[in-house]
Amino acid sequence: MHLFYTPDVSTDIYLLNEDESKHCTRVLRLQQGDTVYLVDGVGGMYTAIIQDANQKKCQLQVIDKQIEYGKLPYSTHIAVAPTKNMDRMEWFIEKAVEIGVTEITFLLCEHSERRNLKLDRLEKIAVSAMKQSQKGYLPLLHDLTPYRRFVQKAHAESTYIAHLEEDATKSIKDHYKFGQPHCVMIGPEGDFSPGEIEVAYGAGIKPVTLGKSRLRTETAALVACHTLNVLHDIFAPL
Per-residue pLDDT of the chain (238 residues; tens, 9 = 90+): 899 999 999 999 999 999 999 999 999 999 999 999 999 999 999 999 999 999 999 999 999 999 999 888 889 999 999 999 999 999 999 999 999 999 999 999 999 989 899 999 999 999 999 999 999 999 999 999 999 999 999 999 999 999 988 888 899 999 998 888 999 999 999 899 999 999 999 999 999 999 988 899 999 999 999 999 999 988 877 6
Q: Identify the architecture of domain 76-235 in CATH.
A: 3-Layer(aba) Sandwich (3.40)
pLDDT computed for residue 166 by the predictor: 85
pTM: 0.92
DSSP state letters, 133-187 = TT-SBPPEEEEEEEHHHHHHHS-GGGEEEE-SSTT----GGGT--TTS-EEEEE-
pLDDT computed for residue 162 by the predictor: 96
pLDDT computed for residue 100 by the predictor: 94
Residue of 169, 178, 152 whose CA lies nearest to 237: 178
What are the residue ranges spanned by the domains of the chain? 3-66, 76-235
pLDDT computed for residue 233 by the predictor: 87
Residues contacting residue 111 through CB under 8 Å, at least 6 positions apart: 81, 187, 188, 189, 190, 191, 192, 193
Contact by Cβ (8 Å): 127, 166: no
Domain 3-66 superfamily per CATH: Hypothetical PUA domain-like; domain 1 (2.40.240.20)
pLDDT computed for residue 197 by the predictor: 96
